[in-house]
């Protein structure tokens, strides 16, 4: 297989709302480029890029996949990404190594939430739009284009448009004002530009000329003077505008009927940027990030953007050659783990199909198998101690408990989760010592459901998702003096311990502050540690069954027996005193409260505020977000009220809202709410 040079390589991420047709577009591109001999369909589960068993079962993409193809002089690596919100981490991986993005829209639905989010994800790279499903009679290119223009501004440049005349639909290339009609196999033929076609196309031709004229003063003069802009001038202007971001071209077609796909492939070949167009990459530095000059002839440097752990194949590391070139049998250093990795075999990818190659040029994407000490976001290089900027993953906030459906499966679950954590960095796992639950954090209910399915299909462990137990606490609100006496006579030596303890609410963060003020040796000093230990053990379970915290205890009196007193008897006496304290000192339930920072569109601020009130949240402040027409709300909310917030916020904002929630402190729970918890505990205990 020929080695493609850097100037020939195009890395393009397909982004967009779920169901817009990204996978079908990938399939059409592969078919037209003669890389596959049949056109797969997502509902049939036979597409090139949706090859994972979970994707086939569910009928939509859940992971980013790479498919390479050759078109014209270019090698194009298409990165097909999921459109559903739970798999945003996969989108971010694709964007991190793409040199441009094509945002796919449904020609009927128009601008959707996924369209807006895709624009935000790809904010730092050149972008284009592909309005798909133009074969649908209800598709309306004009409405969708106006919606894009209203949302994303004047940089939009129509390049390839559909024109309807009765029942006939043709595609017009505005670059040279030629109309094309498509056959069932995706082939096209030029048709005469009749009056109807020309009238409609001319409206967009002016928008096209205005957009490309912004790229140079000479073209701007030509545009204002009414002079014709030549095909070569337009092509160069489009190329320049895409690279510098001043132009966002708009293409259209139908991925299932292969309309407009050739034009899109031509555009990627002729106009989309190569890896070196941006000149620098970001690497970690003491001040955050620093630029790193890209040199195709320099030292080798790879960035691992994705990991897949297959129980049969082993670990597969997907990478991009960020600098220099990669040849097999080279040894590179992992600048994160410090380990040396020998590159034995290099593969390129077309969905699940792997092709072994001897070399990859700067900018190309490939896969390495069975790297021992390399994970996602690691850098492999012989260029010194550089680390490329990692993928910008969002924080997972939806938490559920994992409960094994078969006894003794806990270890198998932990092993399976460990493998899945390697490939999905938007998942977190915690074995909570306090609640005795295995907790998993993800991006939403569908995301967690996929994790559960993978645990079963890959690692043979069946689990169910449960609501996490909230780690409540108890404390006292009143100072009391109590005594505890433990006396037992069983023949021979008996047991005797007697303590008087003054309990009071604590004024710090310590669970227990123990002091002693006994006089006259009423309780000998050698028994004091036993008294403290007895209190600590008794505090593990309060009135409602939760740990007791923030208590001061002063041992001020008691008595002992020369023969019958022991450490155990004083430990038990302290436990009796503590139980009496909890009867008299007006105990209360404490609940964990966290700091919530939620970013939402201005239009739904009222709805979100009302919802926070229902969740017993306290709004601490509001301010305008960096993103236009968005607001940031700072609030403090009990953790118990946040269990379903990911789903609720998504519903209230149609997926536009995002939030972070971090532990803050424990606060006294309202009596009515606390009683429900206590009653539930007593019910479970019976």
Q: What is the pLDDT of residues 304-322, one digit of tens each?
A: 999 998 777 789 999 999 9
Answer yes or no: are the C-beta atoms of 299 and 325 closer than 8 Å: no
Give the long-range contacts of residues 663-666, CB within 8 A, separation 24 or more.
Answer: 663/592, 663/594, 663/639, 664/592, 664/593, 664/594, 664/595, 664/636, 665/592, 665/593, 666/473, 666/549, 666/590, 666/591, 666/592, 666/593
pLDDT score recorded for residue 195: 81
Mean pLDDT lowest for which of 191-195, 258-262, 659-663? Answer: 191-195
Q: How far apart are CA 447 and CA 439, in angstroms?
A: 14
Count Cα neighbours of 203 within 13 Å in the Cβ-side half-sphere.
12
CATH of 589-682, picked from 1.10.150.310, 3.40.50.1970, 3.30.200.20, 3.30.70.240, is 3.30.70.240
Answer yes or no: are the C-beta atoms of 135 and 256 closer than 8 Å: yes
Mean pLDDT lowest for which of 195-199, 494-498, 543-547, 582-586? Answer: 195-199
The CATH class that applies to domain 6-278 reads alpha beta
Q: How far apart are CA 494 and CA 490, in angstroms?
A: 6
Residue 106 has pLDDT above 60, yes or no: yes
β-pair partners for 192: none
Give the long-range contacts of residues 44-48, CB within 8 A, separation 24 or more.
Answer: 47/23, 47/351, 48/350, 48/351, 48/352, 48/353
pLDDT greater at residue 510 or residue 638:
638
Contacts of 291 (CB under 8 A, 6+ apart): 280, 281, 282, 283
- Average pLDDT on 10-14 reads 98
User: At residue 180, what are phi and psi to the nearest 5 degrees?
Assistant: -130, 145
Other CB atoms within a 10 A radius of the CB of residue 291 amount to 12
Nearest to 439 by CA among 406, 468, 471: 468
Domain boundaries, the chain: 6-278, 286-381, 398-466, 474-585, 589-682
- Average pLDDT on 113-120 reads 95
pLDDT score recorded for residue 310: 79
User: At residue 349, what are phi and psi to the nearest 5 degrees?
Assistant: -130, 140
- DSSP letters spanning 118-170: HHHHTTTS-EEEEEE-TTSTT--HHHHHHHHHHHH-TTEEE-EEEEEETTEEE
Check for a shared fold between 398-466 and 589-682.
yes
Note the CATH number of domain 286-381: 2.40.30.10
Taking CA atoms, 92 is separated from 98, 103, 522, in Å, by 10, 14, 68
Helix, strand, coil distribution of the chain in percent, nearest 5: 30, 35, 35
Over the Cα atoms of the chain, what is R_g?
33
Report the range out of 187-191, 287-291, 574-578 with the highest average pLDDT.
574-578
pLDDT score recorded for residue 685: 53
Mean pLDDT lowest for which of 243-257, 484-498, 660-674? Answer: 484-498
Residue 2 has pLDDT above 80, yes or no: no
pLDDT score recorded for residue 684: 57
Contacts of 653 (CB under 8 A, 6+ apart): 600, 601, 604, 608
pLDDT score recorded for residue 164: 83
Mean pLDDT lowest for which of 188-197, 380-389, 512-521? Answer: 188-197
Q: What is the mean pLDDT of the chain?
A: 92
Answer yes or no: are the C-beta atoms of 63 and 82 closer than 8 Å: yes
Contacts of 140 (CB under 8 A, 6+ apart): 107, 108, 110
- Average pLDDT on 359-372 reads 95
Nearest to 502 by CA among 431, 555, 578: 555
Q: Which CATH architecture has domain 398-466?
A: 2-Layer Sandwich (3.30)
Residue 686 has pLDDT above 50, yes or no: no
Answer yes or no: are the C-beta atoms of 579 and 538 closer than 8 Å: yes
User: At residue 190, what are phi and psi to the nearest 5 degrees?
Assistant: -75, 140
Q: What is the pTM of this model?
A: 0.90
- Average pLDDT on 74-92 reads 95
Mean pLDDT lowest for which of 28-37, 120-129, 166-175? Answer: 166-175
Q: What is the pLDDT of residues 96-105, one digit of tens each?
A: 999 999 999 9
Note the CATH number of domain 474-585: 3.30.230.10
Nearest to 74 by CA among 25, 33, 103: 33
Token look-up 């424990």 returns 666
Count Cα neighbours of 100 within 13 Å in the Cβ-side half-sphere.
31
Three-state secondary-structure class, residue 52:
coil
């Amino acid at each position: 297989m020929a080695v493609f040079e850097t100037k020939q390589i195009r890395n393009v991420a397909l982004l967009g709302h779920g169901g817009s047709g990204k996978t079908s577009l990938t399939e059409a591109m592969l078919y037209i480029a003669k890389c596959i001999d049949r056109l797969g369909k997502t509902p049939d589960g036979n597409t090139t890029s949706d090859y994972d068993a979970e994707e086939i079962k569910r009928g939509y993409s859940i992971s980013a996949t790479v498919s390479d193809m050759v078109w014209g002089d270019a090698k194009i690596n298409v990165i097909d990404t999921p459109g559903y919100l739970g798999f945003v981490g996969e989108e971010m991986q694709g964007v991190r190594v793409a040199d441009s993005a094509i945002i796919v829209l449904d020609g009927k639905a128009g601008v959707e939430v996924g369209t807006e989010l895709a624009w935000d994800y790809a904010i730092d790279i050149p972008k284009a739009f592909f309005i798909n499903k133009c074969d649908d009679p209800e598709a309306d290119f004009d409405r969708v284009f106006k919606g894009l223009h209203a949302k994303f501004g004047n940089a939009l440049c129509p390049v390839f448009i559909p024109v309807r005349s009765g029942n006939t639909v043709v595609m017009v290339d505005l670059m040279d004002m030629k109309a094309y009609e498509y056959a069932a196999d995706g082939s096209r033929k030029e048709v005469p530009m009749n009056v109807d076609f020309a009238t409609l196309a001319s409206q967009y031709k002016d928008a096209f000329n205005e957009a490309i004229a912004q790229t140079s003063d000479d073209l701007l003069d030509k545009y204002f003077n009414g002079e014709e802009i030549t095909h070569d001038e337009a092509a160069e202007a489009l190329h320049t505008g895409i690279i510098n971001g001043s132009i966002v071209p708009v293409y259209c077609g139908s991925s299932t009927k292969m309309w407009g796909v050739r034009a899109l492939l031509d555009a990627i070949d002729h106009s989309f940027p190569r890896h070196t167009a941006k000149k620098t990459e970001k690497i970690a530095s003491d001040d955050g990030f620093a630029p790193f000059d890209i040199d195709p002839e320099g030292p080798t440097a790879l960035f691992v953007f994705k990991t897949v752990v297959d129980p049969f194949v082993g670990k597969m590391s997907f990478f991009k050659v960020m600098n220099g070139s990669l040849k097999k049998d080279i040894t590179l250093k992992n600048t994160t783990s410090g380990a040396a990795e020998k590159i034995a075999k290099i593969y390129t990818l077309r969905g699940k199909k792997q092709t072994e190659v001897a070399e990859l040029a700067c900018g190309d994407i490939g896969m390495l198998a069975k790297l021992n000490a390399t994970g996602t976001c690691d850098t492999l290089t012989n260029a010194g101690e550089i680390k490329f900027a990692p993928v910008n993953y969002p924080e997972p906030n939806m938490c559920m408990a994992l409960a094994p459906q078969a006894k003794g499966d806990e270890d198998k679950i932990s092993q399976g989760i460990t493998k899945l954590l390697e490939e999905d960095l938007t998942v977190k796992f915690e074995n909570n010592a306090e609640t005795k639950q295995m907790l998993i954090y993800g991006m939403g209910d569908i995301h967690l459901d996929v994790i559960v399915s993978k645990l079963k299909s890959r690692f043979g462990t069946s689990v169910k998702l449960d609501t996490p137990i909230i780690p409540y606490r108890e404390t006292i609100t009143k100072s009391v003096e109590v005594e505890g006496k433990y006396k037992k006579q069983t023949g021979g030596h008996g047991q005797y311990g007697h303590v008087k303890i003054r309990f009071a609410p604590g004024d710090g963060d310590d669970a227990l502050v123990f002091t002693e003020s006994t006089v006259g040796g009423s309780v000998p000093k050698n028994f004091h540690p036993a008294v403290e230990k007895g209190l600590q053990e008794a505090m593990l379970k309060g009135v409602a069954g939760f740990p007791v915290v923030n208590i001061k205890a002063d041992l001020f009196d008691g008595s002992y027996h020369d023969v019958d007193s022991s450490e155990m008897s004083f430990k038990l006496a302290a436990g009796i005193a503590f139980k009496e304290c909890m009867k008299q000192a007006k105990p209360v339930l404490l609940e964990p409260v966290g700091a919530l920072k939620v970013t939402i569109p201005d239009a739904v601020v009222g709805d979100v505020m009302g919802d926070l009130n229902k969740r017993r949240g306290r709004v601490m402040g509001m301010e305008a977000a960096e993103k236009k027409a968005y607001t940031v709300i700072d609030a403090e909310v009990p953790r118990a009220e946040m269990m379903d917030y990911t789903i609720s916020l998504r519903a209230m904002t149609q997926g536009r809202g995002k939030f972070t929630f971090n532990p803050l402190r424990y606060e006294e729970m309202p009596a009515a709410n606390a009683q429900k918890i206590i009653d539930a505990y007593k019910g479970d205990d019976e």
